[in-house]
Amino acid sequence: MKVINNKRLGIYFFYDKQGIVDRFVPYFLDDLCKNLTKLIIICNGKLNDEGKEILSKYGEVIVRENKGFDVWAYKTALQHVGWEELETYEEVVMLNSTIMGPMYSLSETFTKMNDKDLDFWGLTKYFKYDGDPFGCIEYGYIPDHIQSHFIVCRNSLVKSKDFHDYWDHMPMIHNYSEAIGKHEAIFTKHFADMGYKWNVSVNVDELRNYSGYPLMMCPTKLIKEYRCPIFKRRSFFHDKDDYLRNTTGESVTELYNYIKNETDYNEDFIWEAILRDYHQSDIVKNMNLTYIMPSKVKYQNTFKSKIALVIHLYFPDLLEENKHYIESMPKDADIYITTNTQEKKQAIEKAYKDLQYNHLEVRIIENRGRDVSSLLVGVKDVIMNYDLVCFAHDKKTAQVKPGTSGASFAYKCFENTLSNNNYVENIISTFEQNPRLGLLTPPEPNHDAFFPTCGFEWGPNFDNTKKLADELGLTVPMSAYKSPVAPLGTMFWFRPKAMQPLYAKDWEYNDFPPEPNGIDGSLLHAIERIYPFIVQQAGYYPAVAMTEEFAAIEYQNLHHYVQGYNRVMVGNGVGPYYKQMMGEMNYIMVMQHSCKYLIKKLIKNILKKIFPLSFLKAVKKKVKKEDK
Residue 59 CA from chain centroid, whole number: 32
Q: Can you give the pLDDT at residue 372?
A: 94
pTM greater than 0.75 (yes/no): yes
Tell me whether residue 295 is exposed, middle or buried, using C-beta atoms within 10 angstroms of its C-beta: 0 to 12, 13 to 18, 19 or more.
buried
- Give the residue-averaged pLDDT of 313-330: 93
Q: Can you give the pLDDT at residue 466?
A: 97
Segment 14-30, tens digit of pLDDT: 999 999 999 999 999 99
- Give the residue-averaged pLDDT of 348-375: 93
Segment 152-201, tens digit of pLDDT: 999 999 999 999 999 999 999 999 999 999 999 999 999 999 999 999 99
Mean pLDDT of the chain: 92
> In Å, how far are 173, 184, 242 from 142, measured between CA atoms?
18, 10, 17
Instruction: Please tell me the least confidently modeled range out of 279-288, 328-337, 408-417, 445-454.
Output: 445-454
Q: Cα separation of 385 and 573, whole Å?
A: 59
pLDDT of 628 above 50: no
Residue 403 pLDDT level (bands cut at 50, 70, 90): low
Instruction: Please tell me the least confidently modeled range out of 58-67, 303-312, 517-526.
Output: 517-526
Bond from prior residue into 214 cis (ω within 30 degrees of 0): no
Number of H helices, E strands in the chain: 26, 19
Tell me whether residue 386 is exposed, middle or buried, using C-beta atoms within 10 angstroms of its C-beta: 0 to 12, 13 to 18, 19 or more.
buried
Q: Give, rounded to a whole angstrom, the gap between the first and last alpha carbons of the chain.
A: 81
Segment 238-256, tens digit of pLDDT: 999 999 999 999 999 999 9
* Residues 558 and 304: beta-carbon distance below 8 Å: no
Q: Cα separation of 343 and 232, whole Å?
A: 59
Q: Cα separation of 139 and 187, whole Å?
A: 12
**What is the phi-psi region of residue 59: left when phi exceeds 0, alpha when psi lies from -120 to 50, beta otherwise?**
left
Segment 73-122, tens digit of pLDDT: 999 999 999 999 999 999 999 999 999 999 999 999 999 999 999 999 99
pLDDT of 618 above 70: no
Q: Can you give the pLDDT at residue 568?
A: 87
- Give the residue-averaged pLDDT of 533-556: 97
Residue 513 or residue 404, greater confidence:
513
Q: Can you give the pLDDT at residue 517?
A: 75
Q: Shortest CA distance to 199 belongs to which of 283, 95, 125?
A: 125
483-521 per-residue burial string, b: 16 or more CB within 10 A, e: under 16: bbbbbbbbbbbbbbebbebbbeeebeeeebeeeebeeee
Q: Cα separation of 120 and 151, whole Å?
A: 7
> In Å, how far are 32, 55, 345, 429, 604 from 150, measured between CA atoms?
12, 19, 66, 40, 59
Highest mean pLDDT among 204-208, 594-598, 601-605: 204-208
Kindly compute the dihedral angle of the four CA atoms of residues 594, 595, 601, 602, in this order, to the nearest 10 degrees: 150
- Give the residue-averaged pLDDT of 41-67: 97
Residue 520 or residue 488, greater confidence:
488
Residue 595 pLDDT level (bands cut at 50, 70, 90): confident
Q: Can you give the pLDDT at residue 200?
A: 98
Q: Cα separation of 2 and 117, whole Å?
A: 5
pLDDT of 340 above 70: yes
> In Å, how far are 96, 112, 190 from 204, measured between CA atoms?
22, 15, 22
- Give the residue-averaged pLDDT of 387-395: 95
**What is the phi-psi region of residue 355: left when phi exceeds 0, alpha when psi lies from -120 to 50, beta otherwise?**
beta
Residue 569 pLDDT level (bands cut at 50, 70, 90): confident
Residue 12 pLDDT level (bands cut at 50, 70, 90): very high
